Amino acid sequence: MTLPHHTYGAPPPERGLWPRVKAAMAPDGPYLWLVYLPIYGITWFWLKPTFQDLVLTAAALPLFLLLYIKGHAATKHGALALPWIACLMVLGFTLAMSTSGNWSVIAVYAFALAGALRPQRLAFVTLAAIAVSIIAFGVIFKAPLSLTLIALFFGLVVAVANFFSAELTAKNAALEASQTEVRVMAATAERERIARDLHDLLGHTLTVVAVKADLAARLIDIDTARAKAEIKDLQATARTALADIRSAVTGMRRVALGAELAQARHALAAVDTTLAVTSPEAALPAPVEEALAMMLREGATNVVRHAHATRCDVAIAIDGEDVRFTLADNGIGGPIREGNGLAGMRARVAALGGKLTVDGEKGMRIEAVLPLRRVLA
């Protein structure tokens, strides 16, 4: 007889007679365990039942079903099940005094309901109260010792089984809730990642497009050939950006540092800024390379937009167990206003256990230190 405390995430019932019967006879429902109810009449194999026994038992049956089914439904609400359990015990004691049936069966059902109660303290107190009331009834009314012991033994066995079943159900529910929370957090983190990537992609691309469009507009009447070249670059940049955005949305984009260096050099050249790069020959771990590539993209975009610089230096070095990334320009510098770009940089660096510093006193200087040990762990 198993009476789990809660049912979580149950699917909607299927249509048809058989699915309804199958659902009604589920182990966590009240109906399957009614198969033990006929044990009430086991004493009549050696004690012939009287007319009074049969009449009172027939009259008590619907009352028992009402108390048991209502009590089972109320166990998920804790103390609200106590009146139903108490009434079951009263019914059992009444039948013990007025019939020769095996009243201990009624007590076992009461034990079963009590074992499924929560919190645990309520279950323990209720089980103790039932056990004490059975012992007191047996002593006061001189009930057969065999039936009293049967009620205590089998009742406690069923109660313990239901107690641990309820514990398992509660732990499974907590685990499912925890897994749901993890999935929600992962989905949120993925949305934030895509938002950062889209910001980086669109911010960089639209900046390059705007600069080249302005340049092409100024050159159209002065140097037609160069203006056409800039327009062709615009077309190529737009196509590349469209492919990157499609990949970012599907979450399958892999950013290459070398490609970003080439893009940055191209974009900075449009505003007459020279890019100087120092980088190690050794390959970097994929997460580090992608983070550096996106920081380079954001940093180069900021230089194109705001710096009015003639030179931009990018240095990537392996310093012991760390990778150090530095981007510095000789532009106007100024106070740091941290928008989505820098916030995205900090999020990327923090995700890899690194540290980011930004200084605008003499031009703009962005420095990130990423620990290789944590990335490779």
Is the separation of the CB atoms in 147 and 107 below 8 Å? no
Report in angstroms the alpha-carbon separations of 6 from 26, 197, 363: 13, 43, 63
Query: What does the mean pLDDT of the chain come to?
Result: 83
pLDDT of residue 176: 74
pLDDT digits (tens, 9 = 90+) for 110-152: 999 999 998 889 999 999 999 999 999 999 988 889 889 999 9
* Distances from the Cα of 217 to the Cα of 159, 202, 324, angstroms: 85, 22, 40
* pLDDT tens track for 296-318: 988 888 888 888 899 999 999 98
Buried b (16+ CB within 10 A) or exposed e, 295-328: bbbbbbbbbbebbebebbbbebeeeeebbebbbb
Q: What is the pLDDT of residue 153?
A: 94
pTM reported for the whole predicted model: 0.49
The SS3 assignment for 275 reads: strand
- In the chain the domains, ranked by start, together with CATH numbers, are 17-182 (no CATH), 271-377 (3.30.565.10)
| pLDDT for res 253 | 44
What is the token pair recorded at 325?
A: 């990334």
The stretches in the chain having pLDDT less than 70 are: 1-17, 20-21, 23-24, 175, 178-179, 182-183, 186-187, 190, 201, 245-255, 374-377
Question: Which of 198, 205, 200, 190 has the alpha carbon at shortest distance from 292?
Answer: 200
